[in-house]
Amino acid sequence: MAKQITSQQKDYAQWYQDVVRESKLADHSPVRGCMVIRPNGYALWENMQQSLDQMFKDTGHSNAYFPLFIPKSYLSKEAEHVEGFAKECAVVTHSRLINTEDGKVDVDPESELEEQLIVRPTSETIIWDTYRNWIQSYRDLPLLLNQWANVVRWEMRTRLFLRTMEFLWQEGHTAHATKEEAIEETERMLGVYQTFAEEYMAMPVIPGTKTEAERFAGAIETYCIEALMQDNRALQAGTSHFLGQNFAKAFDVRFQDKDGEEKYVWASSWGVSTRLIGGLIMTHSDDDGLVLPPKLAPVQAVIVPIWKNDDEKTQVLEYAQGIQSALKEAGVRCRLDDRDQYKPGWKFSQHEVEGVPLRLAVGPRDVQNGNVEIARRHDRTKDIVPTDEIAGKVQDELKNIQHELYQAAKERMEKNTFHAETYDEFKEIINQKGGFVYAHWDGTTETELKIKEDTKATIRCLPFDYGKGVSGKCMVTGEPSIGKVIFARAY
Amino acid sequence: MAKQITSQQKDYAQWYQDVVRESKLADHSPVRGCMVIRPNGYALWENMQQSLDQMFKDTGHSNAYFPLFIPKSYLSKEAEHVEGFAKECAVVTHSRLINTEDGKVDVDPESELEEQLIVRPTSETIIWDTYRNWIQSYRDLPLLLNQWANVVRWEMRTRLFLRTMEFLWQEGHTAHATKEEAIEETERMLGVYQTFAEEYMAMPVIPGTKTEAERFAGAIETYCIEALMQDNRALQAGTSHFLGQNFAKAFDVRFQDKDGEEKYVWASSWGVSTRLIGGLIMTHSDDDGLVLPPKLAPVQAVIVPIWKNDDEKTQVLEYAQGIQSALKEAGVRCRLDDRDQYKPGWKFSQHEVEGVPLRLAVGPRDVQNGNVEIARRHDRTKDIVPTDEIAGKVQDELKNIQHELYQAAKERMEKNTFHAETYDEFKEIINQKGGFVYAHWDGTTETELKIKEDTKATIRCLPFDYGKGVSGKCMVTGEPSIGKVIFARAY
């Protein structure tokens, strides 16, 4: 019965792999670095998509879809952009296979393309090339689009969800008449991501901006939210970029403003990906498997009926169906697991490892007493509840669990957030404890890279609420600090 | 004000392109054969997805996601499959670009892949390779999965939505313990497609099976639904394939049955794509642009307020907002077009070309009289309706329009369905009228190909309700007929 899950204590990386496998979220695929997202994982992604998509639409965005392929020459139109992405591209060079004599197939050399195509690693180039045709006047602005798509970045070391060659994501691409509007949009969407992370994923994050070295290739400023995983490593959970006029200039996208002048358009782009599923796992789960926040759990409550003979079965199933109806009516995503071929114990264990927030067990005695046993996945507590109160109880519990998961994660993050005054102190914290470490930094890439080389810690962000305006001296060089910034070893 | 739309009469193909452009459904992209799906087109696709997805879930399916890339060697594991797809593949051969001296980028020859990857044209091979790991016992069956994804087939002659190099689709892939179950599933999903086409798209279809020549590469039997466009050419609108044990054998997917015996798994696959949007356009639209069935229209009713001065504006807008609230509450997808920079006439024309089923116009006099003018897109009729009855009226109208569109399309299809007794008669009908032509056929591929060569007409399907059991002689060879089958020139 026991699932094959290594303890977090023993080997966190192995624990992660085990949880992903045992909870049936994803599999490795025969194509190195690509993953198969299994129904449990995809249902989670669908719930994330649905919530985010509504938030995008509520902030005025529409969805669209742009081509998978980008002509090679497009990438080099924005100098920094190509620098950032050229080294990890899937390149399409041919359009046909031919049969070989041994009954296999080979690339038909005669089908070589005139211009090779890149499988999109991100879509700024193809989208801004299109925007040139759509934007003529200030009346066409702002243009607020998003796309849900797959992208490919050739990665050598991959981990399911966290870093894969192909991943699913959304990418917003907006065009504005003024710099101020574009920055406002960039910040608004970071806010949307923070709200989603905290209120849906129950994952506290620190918002801020990236250093030049960690910035998106082609951006003027990259905003991010950073989360802290259970092993005290940081995870970049979402980014929103102020692109200035870089792509407008590269693709010649101008508009006639109200004042009659022709100007380049201002831009933002922003994205989150299936990587969030990795963050979700490493925020809440435990040695028994997945723990899911109710707002995103594909099944919020599972009912497991227990019987010994056919008489009991009829009775218990009817009772369980009544509970199911009551829960569905109350808007709870509820499943009655009435499968014959598995025993209740097996089901308990399976739903536990799959992270269903609430398990309701119903046996013949419960039918007699008008009760149901309710068990919480996250803290293993149980209650006996009168069945006629079950719908309200479950709704309350789901709200409580959502809140408790967030609180627990927040406390954990706070407990593992440190301040280092000297570089020795900094190194000791990073090596002994990990976590988020605030420290003074002189603002140079040189110092940043030295710290990375010494400790593998990177600057996660210049936090909005603390980074600037705190006077002090850089812990490494002693030069005047630009403020206390957040360091961590990161995924 | 008049939109740039060629009349259907003058040039149907040009009319189609004009409607797609003017209603802002899609654009050509710089990558030949790929399309950009614009917000109007994507919103339509989202509504289609949502309805279909619910129908898939109601019939027990879950969504999952499989890799974009397929190792080249996989394609050749199923002999007919590779025959069908090898000639139109995007092949990834390299994983990196390098800078050239002129500031551009080129493919890095050192990044050549050991095994080339194919961008999926369909996913049977990669999915059945995965199913081998998931299926051991009859307890693991049936396995009922679907994926929403992009696929690529290298096409030389492309038309927006109808035939594009990259398109969006869903592909269902199911695994069963018995042949009967797999056939039942294949037929069930064809039924789902027929229901969707007729009840949501208001597009009547004829269900049937394909001939061997038109069958999916790797299938034992291909079921299809065929629709008739306004220019009397047929459109294959959805296919469902009974795959037998072909892929299970190619990828060695066996299970231990209840009787203890090890058996190969039986399979089905089925799909519909963004091509349906092309079918939708060519079923209902007219010389003024798009006509959309209410069930799928992104905006079902648009309210256009009319005013001459600020006083009127305040009054009219408040009134219009009241109508909007009432409609939203009634579950109508409703938009209040209160944009200042456009005049009412421009808005009328724009919403007309974009196919909004109902337009509600409100001016100062309507406010006084407690009325609203309601105009139907599909038949250009108008009514004056008391505002306090508007929600119920709009709901009724949307139902009526949905029904009328279906009825009109059905009558058109029936009017253009013919029976040919002799080959001369057949050729005359195909050349003069087009449409669906029932005729006796001897069942040989040879005759089928001769007819195709002579007339460009293909066998669209062996219809369930007519094809078999009707005795007669083949119109071409005079040999005994297998039944009356349906011919047409097709997209």
Joined together, the tokens standing for residue A233 give 């490593």
Task: In whole angstroms, give the CA distance from residue B278 to residue B256.
Answer: 45
Task: In whole angstroms, give the CA distance from residue B100 to residue B108.
Answer: 10
**B433: CB partners within 8 A, 6+ apart:** B232, B416, B418
DSSP letter (8 states) at residue A389: G
Task: In whole angstroms, give the CA distance from residue A106 to residue A100.
Answer: 6
Give chain B positions within 8 Å (CB) of A73. 104-105
3-state secondary structure chain B: CCCCCCCCCCCHHHHHHHHHHHCCCEEECCCCCCEEECHHHHHHHHHHHHHHHHHHHHCCCEECECCCEEEHHHHCCCHHHHHHHHHHCCEEEECCEEECCCCCEEECHHHEEEEEEEECCCCHHHHHHHHHHHCCEHHHCCEEEEEEEEEECCCCCCECCCECCEEEEEEEEEEECCHHHHHHHHHHHHHHHHHHHHHHCCCCCEEEECCHHHCCCCCCEEEEEEEECCCCCEEEEEEEEEEECHHHHHCCCEEECCCCCEEECEEEEEEEECHHHHHHHHHHCECCECCCCCCCCCCCEEEEECCCCHHHHHHHHHHHHHHHHHHHHCCCCEEECCCCCCCHHHHHHHHHHCCCCEEEEECHHHHHHCEEEEEECCCCCEEEEEHHHHHHHHHHHHHHHHHHHHHHHHHHHHHCEEECCCHHHHHHHHHHCCCEEEEEECCCHHHHHHHHHHHCCEEEEEECCCCCCCCCECCCCCCECCEEEEEECEC
**B12: CB partners within 8 A, 6+ apart:** B230, B231
B36 to A130: CB separation less than 8 angstroms, yes or no: yes
Most A CBs within 10 Å: which of B97, B134, B251, as the mutation test of the A interface? Answer: B97
Domain positions in chain B: 12-284, 301-395, 418-488
Q: What is the pLDDT of residue B287?
A: 97
Q: What is the pLDDT of residue A149?
A: 98
Phi, psi of A104 (to 5 degrees): -100, -170
Q: What is the pLDDT of residue B278?
A: 98
B30 to A119: CB separation less than 8 angstroms, yes or no: no
pLDDT digits (tens, 9 = 90+) for B121-131: 999 999 999 99
Phi, psi of A97 (to 5 degrees): -110, 155
Give chain B positions within 8 Å (CB) of A119. 68, 92, 119
% residues pLDDT > 70 (chain B): 99
Task: In whole angstroms, give the CA distance from residue A114 to residue A138.
Answer: 37
Joined together, the tokens standing for residue B188 give 């069930």
- Local mean pLDDT, 10-residue blocks, chain A (491 residues): 83 98 96 95 98 98 98 88 88 93 88 95 96 96 98 91 97 98 98 98 98 94 98 98 97 97 98 98 98 98 96 96 97 96 94 98 96 97 96 98 98 98 98 97 96 98 78 94 95 95
Give chain B positions within 8 Å (CB) of A116. 107
**B468: CB partners within 8 A, 6+ apart:** B462, B482, B483
Distance, C-alpha B65 to centroid of its chain: 21
**A58: CB partners within 8 A, 6+ apart:** none
pLDDT digits (tens, 9 = 90+) for B230-270: 999 999 999 999 999 999 999 999 999 999 999 999 999 99
Q: Give A13: exposed, middle or buried? Use CB within 10 Å, 0-12, 13-18, 19+.
A: exposed
Give chain A positions within 8 Å (CB) of B86. 96-99, 105
Give chain A positions within 8 Å (CB) of B30. 71, 74, 126, 129
| Residue (of A172, A158, A135, A211) closest to A57 by Cα position | A172
Element (H, E) at A454: helix A445-455
Joined together, the tokens standing for residue A316 give 């218990």
Q: What is the pLDDT of residue B239?
A: 98
Q: Name all contacts of B467-473 with Cβ < 8 Å and 24+ positions apart.
A: B467/B208, B467/B209, B470/B440, B472/B440, B473/B440
Would strands B458-463 and B436-441 be described as parallel, antiparallel, or unpaired? unpaired
Task: In whole angstroms, give the CA distance from residue B168 to residue B148.
Answer: 7
Q: Which CATH number fits domain B418-488: 3.20.20.210, 3.30.110.30, 3.30.420.10, 3.40.50.970?
A: 3.30.110.30
B74 to A38: CB separation less than 8 angstroms, yes or no: no
Statement: residue B476 has pLDDT above 70: yes
- A62 CA: distance to closest CA in chain B (Å): 6
**In CATH terms, is domain B301-395 a member of 3.40.50.800?**
yes
* Under 8 Å between Cβ of B158 and B152: no
Q: Name all contacts of A44-50 with Cβ < 8 Å and 24+ positions apart.
A: A44/A277, A44/A280, A44/A292, A44/A296, A44/A297, A44/A298, A45/A168, A45/A274, A45/A277, A45/B65, A46/A298, A46/B63, A47/A295, A47/A296, A47/A297, A47/A298, A48/A196, A48/A200, A48/A201, A48/A276, A48/A277, A48/A296, A49/A148, A49/A170
* Under 8 Å between Cβ of B391 and B326: yes
Spatial strand order of the sheet with B358-362 comes to: B334-336, B301-305, B358-362, B371-376, B382-386
Q: What is the pLDDT of residue B1?
A: 42
Task: In whole angstroms, give the CA distance from residue A147 to residue A11.
Answer: 37
Q: Indicate the average pLDDT of chain B.
A: 95
The per-residue b/e assignment along A404-420, b for 16 or more CB within 10 angstroms, e otherwise, is bbbebbeebbeebebeb
Q: What is the pLDDT of residue A1?
A: 42
| pLDDT bracket for residue B3 (50, 70, 90) | low
pLDDT digits (tens, 9 = 90+) for B35-88: 999 999 999 999 999 999 999 999 999 999 999 999 999 988 887 888 888 889
DSSP letter (8 states) at residue A88: G
| Stretch B305-331: mean pLDDT | 96
Got the DSSP string for A110-140? GGEEEEEEEEPSS-HHHHHHHHHHH--BGGG
Most B CBs within 10 Å: which of A95, A154, A299, as the mutation test of the B interface? Answer: A95
Q: Looking at the domain covering A417-488, what would its CATH class be?
A: alpha beta
Of B35, B43, B97, the CB nearest to A62: B43
Q: Looking at the domain covering A12-95+124-284, what would its CATH class be?
A: alpha beta
Q: What is the pLDDT of residue A22?
A: 97
B72 to A105: CB separation less than 8 angstroms, yes or no: yes
DSSP letter (8 states) at residue A388: G
- B103 CA: distance to closest CA in chain A (Å): 8
* Under 8 Å between Cβ of A273 and A45: no
% residues pLDDT > 90 (chain B): 92
Task: In whole angstroms, give the CA distance from residue A39 to residue A332.
Answer: 20
CB pairs under 8 A between A and B: 200
A86 to B97: CB separation less than 8 angstroms, yes or no: yes
Element (H, E) at A146: strand A143-152
Statement: residue B469 has pLDDT above 80: no
**A20: CB partners within 8 A, 6+ apart:** A26, A160, A161, A281
Residue of A nearest to B155 (CA): A95
Q: Which CATH number fits domain B12-284: 3.10.580.10, 3.30.930.10, 1.20.120.160, 3.40.50.720?
A: 3.30.930.10
**A121: CB partners within 8 A, 6+ apart:** A85, A88, A89, A151, A152, A153
Q: What is the pLDDT of residue B2?
A: 52
Most B CBs within 10 Å: which of A89, A110, A154, A158, as the mutation test of the B interface? Answer: A89
Angle, helices A12-22/A275-284, rounded to nearest 10 degrees? 110
| pLDDT bracket for residue B190 (50, 70, 90) | very high
Joined together, the tokens standing for residue B460 give 């669209």
A89 to B96: CB separation less than 8 angstroms, yes or no: yes
**A265: CB partners within 8 A, 6+ apart:** A131, A135, A141, A175, A176, A177, A245, A248, A253, A254, A255
B89 to A71: CB separation less than 8 angstroms, yes or no: no
B145 to A39: CB separation less than 8 angstroms, yes or no: yes
* Under 8 Å between Cβ of A277 and A297: no
The per-residue b/e assignment along A236-263, b for 16 or more CB within 10 angstroms, e otherwise, is bbbbbbbbbbbbbebbebbbeeeeeeee
B105 to A43: CB separation less than 8 angstroms, yes or no: no
Give one word for B394, left, alpha or beta, with left for phi > 0 and alpha for psi -120 to 50: alpha
Element (H, E) at A238: strand A234-244
Assign domain A301-397 to its CATH superfamily. Answer: Anticodon-binding domain (3.40.50.800)
Residue of A nearest to B117 (CA): A31
A91 to B86: CB separation less than 8 angstroms, yes or no: no
